[in-house]
Amino acid sequence: MKQLILNISWISSALLALMGCEKTGNFPGAEVSPYVAIYDLRSYYKGDDYPLSKSSMLGYTSIAGVVVSDHRGKNLPAGLLMVQDKLRLNQLRGITINIGADAEKYVPGDSVTVNLEGGVMKRVDGLLQVTGLSGAAVTKIASDVPIAINRVPSSYILENPEIYESTELVIVKGGFDPIPAPTETYSGDRVVNDGFENFILHTEPDATFANTPLPGMANFKGVLQYASVNGKPTPHLRIRRDEDITVLSSTVTQAAIVVSGFVTDVEGTDLDGEYMQFLATRDIDFSVTPFSVVTSNNTSSYTPTGFPVNGWATGGLRNYKFNLTSGFAAKGTYFYVGNLSKLINGQNSTSMAHANWILSKNYGGTPGDGFGQQNTNLFINSGTFTCGIAVFEGTTVDKNSIPIDVVFIGYNGSVLNANANPPVGLRITNTDWYDVVNPVTLESQPFYKQGSNTICLAYGTPADAGWFYKMGGVYNVRLGRWVKARAQRAVDLTKNSTLSELEEEFPLGDGVTEGLQPTKVID
């Protein structure tokens, strides 16, 4: 007990001594970093002008980041230096600092620090920026710092432009609407669509590239600015120099048929229950212009096993082929390929025989057209293994055939051997999801799971529920491209479901909430 009392006394004395110590700044690590993350800096602004001082910045005085502005192309507002960092939560954020003519001294990749004390953060012409500073506030630390490519869909930018202000971003696979004439140039405001939304690309008439002819499709790298539209600041992208443009194509190719939906797992037995929905983007007489559809299954239980040495034409239980050689589909209408019973959700469900069936076949009892063993399942029902649908022009399909549209569910399985010579896999084509050439790195990637070709749907859960994958994209025939990318939307079919659930909005919206939309064709 005596020892316990002595210990308590000693601890109390030590605490009192510590409390009585004079506070100093000599402890290692006691100095607060002067650099505030741009993410945090932007959070100080609440709508009113915000003077910047060490006190108002909670002990910070400066930022450190990489320059993304470039005035050499004469397409940015004068005096604006744009700097970005990822110091907070690995979140990329940028800020604009108005330092006058000295902004022209800096180019993308310059590492700088900026003393913000004495500046005022405010919105000017819609853009959040720091005003009231001179070029003396900026110190260059290094040059040629790599800037990671930041691919951002235009719909993301329009939904929340503040996230992307004053950062370098790239809109990939941008095409102009309307399709430009050979004499049209960048000068002015141009509508660009990247498969997600329409976006404005603005070029000043005195920009060094203003008179450059417009391409069919390109990647556009630049920074976000604002223009007043009907009195409201509206975001647009500004290219900085010629080097910000990567031309991908000068021509437009239209896919005559696109995958718009399918059922991989009806309620009950799948035997002759699965089917695919397609959308014609032009009038098609299949007796004159035949096409073919191939399905793919990739698990260890489907033979031949291993990588698909003959691609979509590997056959066996891996691929099943349908030749479309008769019937007619009008532009903008749906047609179906698959089960013999023509029922919407397996046995004892609603008949959809009145739909446009270009080919209805007993795939569980007869071989495919050219290859493919009879099989109860055209598709894997669940899990993560890859299955797919590909549409081909004509009825000849081999390992080198390139589809005109393709969709995949699941990511696993032996679907790509990129190390083989030549590589072995399932070929893709240029769609809203896939690219034969990587649009960012420009490297060849003709197969699924190669490079950036990793997008796939997930299997609906629970299994055996009758999920109809309703893709809901928008294909512009005039532009020959997707202007709204397809996405995973699923309707849980019942035994009493009707064709309208597949081909129309479902469930019906109430004017505020929109139901699931089918894939559409527009001009």
Q: What is the pLDDT of residues 307-328, one digit of tens each?
A: 999 999 999 999 999 999 999 9
Q: What is the pLDDT of residues 427-459, one digit of tens each?
A: 999 999 999 989 888 899 999 999 999 999 999
- Under the banding of pLDDT at 50, 70 and 90, the label for residue 12 is very low
For residues 483 and 195, the answer to whether their CB atoms sit within 8 Å is yes
User: d(Cα 186, Cα 166) in Å, to the nearest integer?
Assistant: 22
| pLDDT score of 35 more than 80 | yes
Q: What CATH code would you report for 253-523? A: 2.60.40.1260
**What is the residue whose two structure tokens read 């059922």?**
263
pLDDT value for 31: 64
User: Phi, psi at residue 253, to the nearest 5°?
Assistant: -115, 130
For residues 216 and 250, the answer to whether their CB atoms sit within 8 Å is yes
pLDDT value for 251: 58
513 compared with 481, residue with greater pLDDT: 481
Q: What is the pLDDT of residues 326-342, one digit of tens each?
A: 999 999 999 999 999 99
11 compared with 440, residue with greater pLDDT: 440
The type of residue at 402 is I
For residues 71 and 103, the answer to whether their CB atoms sit within 8 Å is yes
Please give the span between the terminal C-alpha atoms of the chain, in angstroms, as a whole number. Answer: 92
Residues of the chain with CATH 2.60.40.1260: 253-523
Average pLDDT over every residue of 471-489: 91
The CATH architecture one would assign to domain 154-249 is Beta Barrel (2.40)
Strands of the sheet with 93-98, listed across from one edge: 50-51, 120-124, 127-131, 93-98, 80-85, 62-67, 111-115, 138-142
| Mean pLDDT over each residue of the chain, to the nearest integer | 90
Q: Which helix (H) or strand (E) holds 17?
A: helix 2-20
Average pLDDT over every residue of 402-415: 95
Would you call the peptide bond into 178 cis, given omega within 30 degrees of 0 as the criterion?
Answer: yes
Residues of the chain with CATH 2.40.50: 38-142, 154-249
The CATH architecture one would assign to domain 38-142 is Beta Barrel (2.40)
Average pLDDT over every residue of 263-271: 88
pLDDT value for 457: 94
User: d(Cα 394, Cα 371) in Å, to the nearest integer?
Assistant: 15
SS3 11: helix
Among 514, 478, 476, which residue's Cα sits nearest to residue 195? 476
pLDDT value for 334: 98
- Under the banding of pLDDT at 50, 70 and 90, the label for residue 511 is low
What secondary structure does DSSP assign to 260-279, as a single string? EEEES--SS--TTT-EEEEE
pLDDT value for 249: 67
468 compared with 382, residue with greater pLDDT: 468
What secondary structure does DSSP assign to 304-370, as a single string? S-SS-TTGGG--TTTEEEEEE-S-EE-TT-EEEEEESS-BSSSTTS-B-TTS-EEEEE-TTTS--SS
Among 79, 242, 68, 98, which residue's Cα sits nearest to residue 165? 68
Write down the pTM of the prediction: 0.79
pLDDT value for 24: 38
What secondary structure does DSSP assign to 503-516, as a single string? HS-BSPP-SSS--B
Share of the chain above pLDDT 90, in %: 79
User: d(Cα 120, Cα 115) in Å, to the nearest integer?
Assistant: 12
Neighbours of 462 (CB within 10 A): 10
User: d(Cα 277, Cα 363) in Å, to the nearest integer?
Assistant: 16
**What is the residue whose two structure tokens read 């399985």?**
413
SS3 297: strand
